[in-house]
Chains A and B, each alone.
Chain A
């Protein structure tokens, strides 16, 4: 059969009329029609098929609206639009029918967006059909109006349809003003915690326009009413609530909500709903008014924005960065609190360089300065007048300055002052009370002032908005033990006599001492003043005592007298290892070594032994040589094996004055500084030779048989 356009057009005409009528019936029949399952499939293809009529109708409408100049063009257009309109109208009809079938499925109510969409769809069908039938009409303006109306209707209907599938106002949401996230302290339980969950997970199907199961969740009233199956919940009793039941049915169950495949509620979201219902399903309550350990409150903390911290807001303009830079010097630092922020902070350092002029200079920045740290600077009473001109001040630290409090009242005028420190000054209670009128004062540091703790507690009553910080006081009377006094002059070896000086870092400590080796006590022993004259080898013991403290452990000092000072000492073998000190000088520098044997005050000898030649400036009457020595068996430092003292007036002709063998070290001997005292009958000598043979490590030691070290710090000649 040959292609006959007229025949096809005729068939199309007939079909259009038929579908129009069919659509009309289904539209009127509305909710009463019963749709067989296979037709439901067709109905569900509505969202897919609708794109055809939209495009076709808009193209043909536009074609009708665009005038054609040439007659030939007009002819072609008439032909083309005629066909296009037919297909467009037919596809509209099919789409409408599909839509009506879809709408008859349960869950689509009869009001709201769906109703508008239905009517819109019908109107599109009618106008499109009319357009087709009037396509050859001679009155062009009728046709054009009709075409324009069709296009507008298509857009409107499409919009309502989109509302149904994507939710209201899907298109414009990104450019609509956003609701700012609600802070914890401002949030409502229902509005900001419960409703967003329902909105996201439930309301796509349970809204006024599309109330599946007869349930809409949009309004509180609807939530309380419930749907076809009954009430959603009984406030206060979540365990028997339909809502909870549906949420917690297994996901495979047909009645489980949200239906399988849709986004499910998280455990946390379900918990929010549970606890909200349990708490009585209040629609007005504030989150912040919930008890501190309420489950709902805890859940809310995690879900809501934290309460807006009171980040201060500064509304003044920044200062000129160059000016700020210029006002910085070595003793005064001015800097912005952060990059590109207006508020400035100023610190002062080095009290010797301070002058109130350096505060006055900053008046140029008084609009920006929010913090001034003047602690320990010699700020005087009169200077507070200058400081009070910095109206933006939030923090002012005047602790340990020279202010007396006389002029403190001027600071009460600072409108923003939040924190003021006047500790370590002599402010008294009347002066303090003048600050009562400071409008924004939150913290006032007043410890170590003329105020007693009782004063401060009393004053606190006058400052309802301000915390008076009274600092640490040793209220519980805890007694502490003082530390030992210090020896000022560290030389432990003296000639003839010495002035012993002791000191203690705590003010008001009494140092009590003994010189006979007995332990001093805090009552009877003499109190140290200025100095003690020492004339002989002495063991000094001293303790520090003060009221309110336990006395210190005794400081024990051994002071050694050396009568004769040698001219020189020559070491025949150099000291070994790293224990070389300052060479032979170390032996008569008046410095005793400590247990820190690497300190440089000790000389160490291992293999070669110690042999020293000592020369005195003139002949001396000698009866004793004391060798300062050290014992630390763990570090292989032992008493020597043997000591010989030779003496005479000529180094080449010496006679043996003394030979002794010190007591060998035993296994448990503690680390100690020792003295090897070699006494002999008085001998007139001008030079000496001292020979010390180090020991071999005894048998009890793990390293037995090896060389042992001999350490010496000082030689004393009496």
Chain B
């Protein structure tokens, strides 16, 4: 008898199991209330990302990036270091260098003589920011810009540093900044690409730019940057061939789209759809582009603002003016590159030429955007891929010297949409290390994305089993840069 009872107890059925466990399950559930994301963890991770719409109300809608390719010296532009003039020719103290790595170009130098700016600095604007005499026009707009003196990067040579700035990684094949923007915010104007690239070249020692910098990487190829060239046909292969009119072209595209659609149905490759869309956009660009690149309707005042160079296609000034027009027409990201800033030698001379190329037009762009009410919604960034050393590379004379690459501290400026004008960050009196408010390239990207209404941690794309971000696994938004 006793045994039967015992067995009965052992004969646990489902009802019994569940009813006995109910309290246990209940208390586990109660406990889980205190861990709000206990079961939600994966859900938030998988939350559908909606490309094309900002995550929150943006401060800026569009970006114009005036990239100064080759790395302009911060010490002759925006980071005033009188100490370097005082200590001209003396060796860089080891306590400052702290054994940090140098490029192969100066690592073999027996001494590192400090060299001060050949050009004088003055204070300007409400922020009393020091700006060198090479940038008189930028000095006039100082109260509209935020000079960041505490940028730093990880790469020490041009190509990786440039690639890092443009794609968030030193190796190639990631998506470019502009492509991310196109992916994250979409195109405003369906008659133009969301990401346009304009190149110009100064007379200074130059470094190459390659189309990988405006590549869409793993993103859909519709997000690729489109290069506008100077000359009769700014966008290559856009004009109809001789003997083909618009109606003809339309008919051809319709037929082609039908064929492409067929092959999409059999293969399902999304790139086929992209291709159809690109043909369609190119068709619309045929009318949109000539209107854009026609500068003859600009007023005399506007031309004088940008300077007469703005009428010579292919110059930085002309590209600035074109950038304004593209941006005004809803192009999300206009990327300019001005080459020739790599002053390993002959710096005072070359830098003056480079500054002359860009100073007036950069300032003009800000003024022009402002007078059009567009500066509030456009973010303008000006800067290179790293800075230059405070010591001389090669032979130093009273009026000639060179500077090597310096990734540990350099200056850029930003203006417009949501940027807090003023001066941000500080370097030591040698201009070598950052002493206050460092800004990493990832931080800059995160902050810019934030201004554009995007959470840099949510703007992701899953590729080959991992989610990629522009800021990779780092980056933080810097409130001090934002108004």
Beta-carbon contact of B189 and A419 below 8 Å: no
A15–B372 CA distance with the chains assembled, in angstroms: 92
CB-CB under 8 A for A350 and B55, given A338-B453, A472-B301, A474-B304? no
Which of A350, A448, A482, A552 has the largest count of B CB atoms less than 10 A from its CB? A350
- Least Cβ distance of A133 to chain B in Å? 42
A397 and B373 contact, Cβ closer than 8 Å, known pairs A349-B191, A472-B305: yes
The chain B residue with its CB closest to the CB of A421 is: B373
How many angstroms between the C-alpha atoms of A339 and B185 in the bound complex? 11
Contact across chains for B296 and A350 when beta carbons are under 8 A apart = no
How far is it, in angstroms, between the C-alpha of A399 and the C-alpha of B374 when the chains are bound? Answer: 12
**Please, which residues of chain A bring their CB within 8 A of the CB of B307?**
480
Residues of A within 8 A of B154 (CB): none
Q: When the two chains form the complex, which single residue of B308, B368, B372 contacts A480, counting CB atoms closer than 8 Å?
A: B308
Contacts of B364 in A (CB 8 A): 472
Interchain nearest-CB distance for A373 vs B (Å): 8
Residues in chain A near residue B295, CB distance under 8 A: 505
Asked if A178 is at the interface (CB within 8 A of a chain B CB), the reply is no
Pick the contact of B329: A349, A506, A549 (CB < 8 A). A349
Cβ < 8 Å to B, chain A residues 427-464: 443, 445, 447-448
Minimal Cβ-Cβ distance residue in A for B190:
A330
Contacts of A423 in B (CB 8 A): 371-372
Is the pair A480, B304 in contact by a Cβ cutoff of 8 Å?
yes
**A481 to B54 Cα, complex, angstroms:** 44
Chain A 15-48 near chain B by CB (<8 Å), digits 1 or 0:
0000000000000000000000000000000000
Contact present for B287 and A506 (CB under 8 Å): no
If over half of A's interface residues share one DSSP class (helix, strand or loop), that class is named, otherwise mixed; here it is: loop
Indicate which residue in A309, A330, A549 contacts B284 across the interface (CB closer than 8 Å): A330
Cα distance, A482 to B310, chains bound together (Å): 10
B261 at interface (Cβ–Cβ under 8 A)? no
Cβ contact of A349, chosen from B55, B190, B301, cutoff 8 A: B190
Q: Which of A471, A478, A480, A507 contacts B371 (CB 8 A)?
A: A471
A507 touches B296 (CB 8 A): yes
Tell whether, in the assembled complex, residue A333 and residue B330 are in contact, meaning their CB atoms are under 8 Å apart: yes
- Do B308 and A483 touch across chains, with their CB atoms under 8 A apart? yes
Q: Does A375 contact B (CB under 8 A)?
A: yes
- For A363, the chain B residues whose CB sits under 8 A away are none
- Dominant secondary structure at the B interface: loop
Q: Which of A419, A505, A507: most chain B Cβ within 10 A?
A: A505
Contacts of A472 in B (CB 8 A): 301-302, 305, 364, 367-368, 371
Residue of A nearest to B49 (CB): A339
B370 CB contacts on chain A under 8 angstroms? 469
**Are A330 and B58 touching (Cβ within 8 A)?**
no
Tell me, yes or no, whether B258 is within 8 Å of chain A by CB.
no
Closest to B299 in A: A448
Residues of A contacting B55 in the complex (Cβ-Cβ under 8 angstroms)? 338-339
A648–B50 alpha-carbon span in the complex (Å): 78
Among residues 211 to 267 in chain B, which have CB atoms less than 8 Å away from a CB atom of chain A? none
Q: How far is the CA of A548 from the CA of B291 in the complex (A)?
A: 27
User: Which of A311, A445, A548, A549 is close to B372, meaning CB atoms less than 8 Å apart?
Assistant: A445
Q: Does A170 touch B at the CB level, under 8 Å?
A: no
Q: CA–CA, A341 to B58, complex, Å?
A: 12
- Check: A679 CB closer than 8 A to any chain B CB: no
A292 to B291, CA, bound (A): 49
* Complex interface residues of chain B between 11 and 63 (CB less than 8 A to chain A): 50, 53-58
Residue numbers in B under 8 Å from A481 (CB-CB): 308
Q: Contact between B373 and A483 (Cβ–Cβ < 8 Å)?
A: no
CB distance from A22 to the nearest CB of B (A): 46
Query: What sequence of 0s and 1s flags, for each residue 312-334 of chain A, a beta carbon within 8 Å of any chain B beta carbon?
Result: 00000000000000000011010
Cβ of B186: which chain A residues have Cβ within 8 Å of it? Answer: 335
Q: Is the CB–CB distance between A338 and B191 below 8 Å?
A: no
- A483 cross-chain contacts in B, Cβ below 8 A: 308-309, 311-312
User: A407: CB under 8 A from chain B?
Assistant: no
**Cβ of B303 < 8 Å from any Cβ of A?**
yes
**Cβ of B199 < 8 Å from any Cβ of A?**
no
Of B284, B303, B370, which is in contact with the most chain A CB atoms at under 10 Å from its CB?
A: B303
B359 within 8 A of A: no
Complex CA distance for A395 and B373, rounded to whole angstroms: 10
Docked Cα-Cα span, A330 to B286, in Å, equals 14
Q: Give the distance in Å from the alpha carbon of A548 to the alpha carbon of B301 in the complex.
A: 11
Q: How far is the CA of A480 from the CA of B308 in the complex (A)?
A: 7
Q: Is B288 an interface residue (CB 8 A)?
A: yes
B300 adjacent to chain A (CB < 8 Å) = yes
CA distance in complex: A471, B328 (Å): 16
- Chain B residue contacts of A552, Cβ below 8 A: 308
Interchain nearest-CB distance for B277 vs A (Å): 11
Given contacts A337-B54, A339-B54, A423-B372, contact A350 B287 (CB under 8 A): yes
Which one of A341, A349, A419, A445 contacts B288 once the chains associate, using CB atoms below 8 Å? A349
B308 and A469 contact, CB distance less than 8 A: no
Question: Which of B54, B370, B373 has most A Cβ within 10 Å?
Answer: B373
Interface centre among B190, B192, B312 (most CB of A within 10 A): B190
Query: Within the assembled complex, what's the spacing in Å between the Cα atoms of A335 and B54?
Result: 10
Residue of chain A at shortest CB distance from B294: A505
Bound complex: CA A331 to CA B190 (Å): 7
Complex Cα distance, B302 from A399, in Å, reads 15
Taken residue by residue from 421 to 465, chain B's Cβ proximity to chain A (1 for < 8 Å, 0 otherwise) reads as 000000000000000000000000000000001000000000000
- Counting CB contacts under 8 A, is B133 at the interface? no
Whether B188 sits at the interface, judged by CB under 8 Å, is yes
Q: Which residue of A lies closest to B360 (CB)?
A: A480
- Cross-chain contact A421 with B372 (CB below 8 angstroms): yes
Q: For A469, what are the chain B residues with a Cβ–Cβ distance below 8 Å?
A: 370-371, 373
Q: A333-B190, A471-B301, A507-B296 are in contact. Are A347 and B330 (CB under 8 A)?
A: yes
**Residue pair B371, A445 in contact (C-beta under 8 Å):** yes
- Shortest Cβ distance from B54 into A: residue: A338
Q: A residues 508-552 with Cβ under 8 Å of B?
A: 548-549, 552
CB of A357 within 8 A of chain B? no
Judge whether A337 and B57 touch: CB under 8 Å: yes
Quick one: which of A329-365 are within 8 Å of B by CB? 330-331, 333, 335-339, 341, 347, 349-352
Q: Are A506 and B300 in contact (CB under 8 A)?
A: yes
Of the candidates B56, B188, B296, B371, the one whose C-beta lies within 8 Å of that of A505 is B296
Closest chain B CB from A580 CB (angstroms): 22
B138-153 contacts to A, CB under 8 A, are none
Q: Which residues of B contact A397 (CB under 8 A)?
A: 373
Residues on the B chain within 8 Å of A337, using CB: 54, 57-58, 453
Cβ contact within 8 Å between B301 and A506: no
A578 interface hit (Cβ, 8 Å): no
Complex CA distance for A309 and B483, rounded to whole angstroms: 9
B328→A478 contact, CB < 8 A? no
Once bound together, how far apart are the Cα atoms of A419 and B373, in whole Å?
8
Indicate if the CB atoms of A352 and B371 lie closer than 8 Å. no
Residues of A within 8 A of B58 (CB): 337-338
Query: Are A445 and B308 in contact (CB-based, < 8 A)?
Result: no
In whole Å, how far is A640's beta carbon from the nearest beta carbon of chain B? 31
Please indicate the chain B residues that have their CB under 8 angstroms from the CB of A173 in the complex.
none
In the bound complex, residues from chain A placing their C-beta under 8 Å from that of B50 are 339
Nearest Cβ distance between residue B66 and chain A, in whole angstroms? 19
In the complex, which residues 388-408 of chain A have their Cβ closer than 8 Å to any Cβ of chain B?
Answer: 395, 397, 399
What are the residues of chain B within 8 A of A471 when measuring CB–CB? 301, 371
The 8 closest A-B CB pairs, nearest first, are: A471-B371, A505-B311, A338-B54, A338-B57, A474-B304, A349-B189, A330-B190, A483-B308
Between A and B, 17 residue pairs with Cβ closer than 8 Å are A330-B284, A333-B189, A335-B53, A338-B453, A339-B55, A349-B190, A349-B329, A350-B191, A352-B287, A399-B372, A443-B373, A445-B371, A445-B372, A471-B371, A472-B368, A481-B308, A483-B312
A residues lining the B interface (CB < 8 Å)? 309, 311, 330-331, 333, 335-339, 341, 347, 349-352, 375, 395, 397, 399, 419, 421, 423, 443, 445, 447-448, 469, 471-474, 478, 480-483, 505-507, 548-549, 552
Add 9 more A-B contacts to A330-B190, A469-B370, A549-B308 (CB < 8 A): A331-B190, A338-B453, A349-B330, A350-B287, A445-B373, A471-B371, A474-B301, A483-B311, A505-B295
